[in-house]
Structure 1
Amino acid sequence: MRLASAPLRRVCRQHRALSTFVERDVVILRQKLNQDNIIVTKPLNPANKISTHKGDISHADIIGKSPRDLVTSSAGHEYRIHTITLAEYVSLTRRLVTPIYPADANLIVSLFDLHPSAADDAEKIEVLEAGTGHGALTLHLSRAIHGANSQVPKPAPASESVEDQSLTESGNGEHQSESDNTLDAWKASRKAVIHSIDISPKYSKHAAKIVAGFRHGVYAGNVDFHVGDVSEWIKSEHVRRDSEEPFLTHAFLDLPATHDHLSAAASALKKDGTLIIFNPSITQILDCIQKIKRENIPLLLDQTLELGNNGSSGGKPWDLRAVKPRASSKNQPTEAGSEPAQSSGSESLNESITRDPAQALKEAKPEDPNWTFVCRPKVGERITGGGFLGVFRKMKDTARP
């Protein structure tokens, strides 16, 4: 009973917090007579107000109200107050880069098939996100693993007495050190963590702010933000852990030159772990497949999916495989103008790339001009989409390169 009571208390506390809006909440206002007129507030502060062309709305008038209550602007226009959803939050908050839209983020999370557990004997989940960007996928991933971790410890309240604070400055330092030690101990005990890395300090800082701004940072404690090159970070993690063993459960790469980081990512990925790469172009996915073949990287292409456009639902499967025309396999020249990749008389490496890549690496040489690629939607015509996902599986454990 004691094991079940703590999560229940946390749920009850969150329910009470959401029953009325409090300071630091972010809410959505929709004009009563025009639902398309949407306002996303900054964190509520009783001293602040929202200025619109239809009058000002005081934050103090929102605090204490419940979801779907009405608030009136200074010009007499009514707005309905709504609790902001995660999908609305990542789509409507200020951005420095284009976010991964909620439908795509949900698809990516589902492909990882995460099953977090807070049990003492549960294996720790560590997910790498390379290319933090806006922080949209970061939030979705953090929400997915949230059940594995206990509540972030709150810092002990500092003394509000000016007299007490003036007695000794070292006391404040000791208090801060104690809080830091408590937080460090909690982080070390986490059963699930998202490692989110971006090459840009500006983007990483903004994404951390986005994550911390959703529902008082409820999911922020699950994420460790890093700035730098992902391959170098992986090497440094091996050194820090003093181990060559893979430590990542899954990984997601959203980078301009993804193929340059495949080897490092594979070295850190546990056996049967999922590596998902996002690229705007299908040819970039092909570059990654060729890199895997050329360097014998132990990754198995499981599927290739096309994402939707402008946040629409995606996941359209593509047929992506290497083939050799049967005439070439018999050392016979092919006719000019033929399309061997789509010929019914071709010898396919589909099984070796998407089912048994180890055998493919032995049989197919990337420099062999007779090998080519099938690259087409599996059903119907190609629809302009928001990019492509290559979903790979780690085949075997390997030493760090």
Structure 2
Amino acid sequence: MSRPLAAGERVLMLDSKKRRYLVTLEEGGEFHTHSGFVPHDDIIGGPEGVRVTSTRGSRYLVVRPTLAEFVLKMPRGAQVIYPKDLGPILMLADVFPGARILESGVGSGALSMALLRAGALVTGYELRSDFANRARRNVETFLGPEALERYDVQERDCYEGIDERDVDRVILDLPEPWQVVPHAAEALAPGGILVAYTPSITQASQLREALEKSDFDMAATVEVLHRGWHIEGQAVRPDHRMVGHTGFLTHARLVGA
């Protein structure tokens, strides 16, 4: 069932060069660029996919942003985990509706939104109050206030321990995830999965060493590369630019001694 675009919603506006702008619709509001402005009232009440024209004749396509698009445009302080890694994390962690997940290093909430969208119950540990507050706002903006009922962000240090017990998954975006390995072993239920995102291979290597000395097994580390293709008639080639390295994903399962 189609829903008209409404005041208070965030929409993605694409110009003729496919540049993207994330806009919050307001009654009486205006979207301004060097190409003129578009009254928000020209958009509000219209269908998703509506095309509008600025005062200087520029055309814009208006759609609701996907999670991947919102993550790249949303307000943030910490560097987000990119969409190319969010999807694999959901699969490597085997996230399912109702899964109890401990996430540490919440940042701006990109991973939190992916986990909550998949139906998980998320407890987040975040050291910085400004990051914690921004993550809550981003979650509420994209998923709605009801998502906050499944999202508990605590301002605390995961290196010092995890209070939760029998969680299904522990997912880390921290500089030194190896410090969390013994705490994760206590927090996870048998068979639970740990996943860690690390920008450098030396971080991943040190994590793997810690996992080898623990009750975790089945450890593996992967890197996800994303290359688009230019397709225009018979002109077909890889894009000149690609999203190459962002980080390494290490995962392991708690199996006991």
Match of 1:307 among 221, 224, 227: 224
TM-score normalised according to structure 2 size: 0.86
Report whether the alignment pairs 1:36 with 2:18.
yes
Alpha carbons of 1:218 and 1:90: their partners in 2 closer, same or farther (altered >3 Å)?
Answer: farther
The match for 1:138 is 112
Distance in 2, Cα, partners of 1:46 & 1:257: 47
Asked if structure 2 preserves the Cα contact closer than 8 Å seen for 1:25 and 1:215, the reply is: no
Distance in 2, Cα, partners of 1:64 & 1:114: 36
Asked if structure 1 preserves the Cα contact closer than 8 Å seen for 2:36 and 2:58, the reply is: yes
The match for 2:95 is 114
Distance in 1, Cα, partners of 2:160 & 2:135: 21
Please report how far the alpha carbon of residue 141 of structure 1 lies from its aligned counterpart in structure 2 after TM superposition: 0.7
Percent identity for Structure 1 against Structure 2: 29
Asked if structure 2 preserves the Cα contact closer than 8 Å seen for 1:127 and 1:248, the reply is: yes
Secondary structure at the aligned position of 1:99 is classed as coil
Match of 1:205 among 133, 152, 171: 133
Please report how far the alpha carbon of residue 48 of structure 1 lies from its aligned counterpart in structure 2 after TM superposition: 2.1
The match for 1:341 is none
Distance in 2, Cα, partners of 1:286 & 1:39: 39
The match for 1:158 is none
Alpha carbons of 1:394 and 1:215: their partners in 2 closer, same or farther (altered >3 Å)?
Answer: closer
Letter of the 1:274 partner, please give it.
Answer: I
Rg comparison, structure with higher value = 1
Letter of the 2:169 partner, please give it.
Answer: H
Please report how far the alpha carbon of residue 81 of structure 1 lies from its aligned counterpart in structure 2 after TM superposition: 1.1
The one-character-per-residue Cα deviations of 1:111-146 (angstroms, maximum 9, x if unpaired) are 122332xxxxxxx5211111111211111111111x
Match of 1:222 among 142, 150, 163: 150
The one-character-per-residue Cα deviations of 1:216-258 (angstroms, maximum 9, x if unpaired) are 44644322112110244623x4xxxxxxxx3210111111111
Distance in 2, Cα, partners of 1:48 & 1:21: 14
Letter of the 1:80 partner, please give it.
Answer: L
The match for 1:63 is 44
1:381-396 aligned at under 5 Å gives the runs 385-396=245-256
The match for 1:270 is 189
Distance in 2, Cα, partners of 1:218 & 1:81: 26
The match for 1:86 is 67
Q: Over the residues paired in the alignment, what is the CA RMSD in angstroms?
A: 2.2
List runs of 5+ in structure 2 lacking aligned partners: 228-243
Letter of the 2:152 partner, please give it.
Answer: D
Please report how far the alpha carbon of residue 66 of structure 1 lies from its aligned counterpart in structure 2 after TM superposition: 0.5
List runs of 5+ in structure 1 lacking aligned partners: 1-14, 117-123, 146-191, 238-245, 314-383
Please report how far the alpha carbon of residue 79 of structure 1 lies from its aligned counterpart in structure 2 after TM superposition: 1.5
1:338-357 aligned at under 5 Å gives the runs none
**Which of the pair is proportionally richer in strand?**
2
Asked if structure 2 preserves the Cα contact closer than 8 Å seen for 1:134 and 1:203, the reply is: yes
Report whether the alignment pairs 1:24 with 2:8.
yes
**Which of the pair is proportionally richer in helix?**
1
Report whether the alignment pairs 1:289 with 2:194.
no
Secondary structure at the aligned position of 1:213 is classed as helix
Aligned residue pairs total 242
Distance in 2, Cα, partners of 1:307 & 1:132: 21
Letter of the 1:271 partner, please give it.
Answer: P
TM-score normalised according to structure 1 size: 0.56
Asked if structure 2 preserves the Cα contact closer than 8 Å seen for 1:142 and 1:220, the reply is: no
